[in-house]
């Protein structure tokens, strides 16, 4: 049996188990995503009641024999990030990407750090949600080692030209082409992703479609429930930025 003490992390998913316990997917910096049983966590007398939730920076301890571990300690490691409205759906999208794309027991320190950045940004509401999500998506794919080169094309290794057109081949990279079409993006959108932002609405739209193409490729047909929530939130709000 292995024991781990005081590991920083986030609850990315939780569901009830038996009468008063929880099954938790915990994303830790040093151990990656871990499945944990939180015995009695829903009991009124549990010190963990209301704590094992998303968007709360936590310090967790657990023991483990086999695939699942048993939570032995849990305490806050910072202030809860209060997400409401579209920010909440964006946060759920981040957690669902972690759940769908990262394997258990595969540490990704850079992705872990990016979680803190995106949750703080969504709670602070000082930057467009769309740009916060693009930066996280890029950090996630980069941490997984599957992000294409956003600086140079995959044909001759030439620098991506803002005025150029490029066909995205997820397993290869960006290949220069002469005409627009499916899977073709402007170099300006590719460069904006590398730079981390844009103030041009059309470029932001292209950035979203480009990253969606990449993520869908790695989802391999699996759907994201959070996307439906985001789409619903978009229909019921006005003036919000697209995510």
Do 89 and 64 belong together in one domain? Answer: no
Do 66 and 125 belong together in one domain? Answer: no
Do 91 and 72 belong together in one domain? Answer: no
Do 152 and 201 belong together in one domain? Answer: yes
How is residue 136 written in tokens? 């996280």
Percent of the chain with pLDDT over 90: 87
DSSP state letter for 72: E
Do 121 and 206 belong together in one domain? Answer: yes
Structural domain boundaries enclosing 45: 2-76
pLDDT at 56 over 90: yes
Do 152 and 49 belong together in one domain? Answer: no
DSSP state letter for 14: E
Q: Report the alpha-carbon distance of residue 170 to residue 165 in Å, rounded.
A: 16
pLDDT at 238 over 60: no
Beta pairing, strands 58-64 & 69-76:
antiparallel
Do 72 and 129 belong together in one domain? Answer: no
The more confidently predicted of residues 229 and 6 is: 6
CB 24 within 8 Å of CB 31: no
pLDDT at 48 over 50: yes
Q: Report the alpha-carbon distance of residue 8 to residue 35 in Å, rounded.
A: 15
Q: Report the alpha-carbon distance of residue 109 to residue 111 in Å, rounded.
A: 5
Q: Report the alpha-carbon distance of residue 44 to residue 24 in Å, rounded.
A: 18
- Per-residue pLDDT of 134-144, as tens digits, reads 999 999 999 99
- Per-residue pLDDT of 10-35, as tens digits, reads 999 999 999 999 999 999 999 999 99
Tell me the average pLDDT of the chain.
93
Q: What is the pLDDT of residue 54?
A: 96
Q: Report the alpha-carbon distance of residue 64 to residue 41 in Å, rounded.
A: 18
Q: What is the pLDDT of residue 236?
A: 58
Q: What is the pLDDT of residue 1?
A: 74
Residues 6+ positions from 84 with CB-CB distance below 8 Å: none
φ, ψ dihedrals at 11, nearest 5°: -80, 120
Do 70 and 93 belong together in one domain? Answer: no
- Per-residue pLDDT of 105-129, as tens digits, reads 999 999 999 999 999 999 998 899 9
Q: What is the pLDDT of residue 240?
A: 46
Q: What CATH number does the domain containing 18 carry?
A: 2.40.50.140
pLDDT at 230 over 90: no
Indicate yes or no: pTM above 0.75. yes
Q: Find, among 23, 29, 24, 30, the residue nearest to 12 by Cα.
A: 24
Which H or E element spans position 62? strand 58-64
Answer whether residue 241 is part of any domain.
no
């Amino acid at each position: 049996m292995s024991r781990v003490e005081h590991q920083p992390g986030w609850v990315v998913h939780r569901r009830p188990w038996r009468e008063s316990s929880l099954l938790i997917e915990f994303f830790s910096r040093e151990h990656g995503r871990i499945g944990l049983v939180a015995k009695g966590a829903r009991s009124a007398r549990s010190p963990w009641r209301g704590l094992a939730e998303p968007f709360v920076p936590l310090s967790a301890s657990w023991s483990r024999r086999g695939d699942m571990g048993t939570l032995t300690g849990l305490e806050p490691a910072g202030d809860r990030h209060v997400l409401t409205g579209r920010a909440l759906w964006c946060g759920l999208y981040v957690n669902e990407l972690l759940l769908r794309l990262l394997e258990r027991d595969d540490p990704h320190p850079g992705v872990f750090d990016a979680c803190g950045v995106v949750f703080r940004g969504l709670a602070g509401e000082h930057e467009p949600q769309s740009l916060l999500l693009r930066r996280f998506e890029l950090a996630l794919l980069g941490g997984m080692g599957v992000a294409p080169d956003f600086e140079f094309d995959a044909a001759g290794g030439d620098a991506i030209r803002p005025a150029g057109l490029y066909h995205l081949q997820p397993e290869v990279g960006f290949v220069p082409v002469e005409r627009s079409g499916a899977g073709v993006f402007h170099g300006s959108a590719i460069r904006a992703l590398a730079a981390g932002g844009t103030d041009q609405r059309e470029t932001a739209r292209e950035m979203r479609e480009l990253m969606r193409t990449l993520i869908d490729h790695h989802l391999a047909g699996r759907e994201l429930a959070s996307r439906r929530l985001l789409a619903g939130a978009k229909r019921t709000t006005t003036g919000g930025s697209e995510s």
